[in-house]
Amino acid sequence: MIRTSPGKAPAIFLLFGLKTVLRDLPGRAATCQRCRQLVQHRLQERATKFTLFFIPVFTASRAFNITCSNCGQHSMVKARLKNALLR
């Protein structure tokens, strides 16, 4: 039980923040939109997680980056298209 003096709210200490986690996923050969070459593409997941006392609680946002290994063309991929790449 938390004892407080009358008329005062108990002091609560919360430590929260956001943390970005990068994770490499298996890529796939695809035709690049820029260099028009059929080359391996690198797929990377970028998840922003809400943390409470440095412990990840839930994922606030998620994006997928795809990079061409030939020319370095970098683009964002939606989750639905990311699943098509992994097939």
Chain residues binding Zn ion by CB under 5 A are 32, 34-35, 68, 70-71, 73
> Which CB sits closer to Zn ion, 44 or 70?
70
Cα–Cα distance, 42 to 24 (Å, whole number): 8
The token pair that represents 17 in the structure block? 């923040």
> Which CB sits closer to Zn ion, 30 or 60?
30
> Which CB sits closer to Zn ion, 51 or 73?
73
Cα–Cα distance, 5 to 78 (Å, whole number): 53
> Strand, helix or coil at 7?
coil
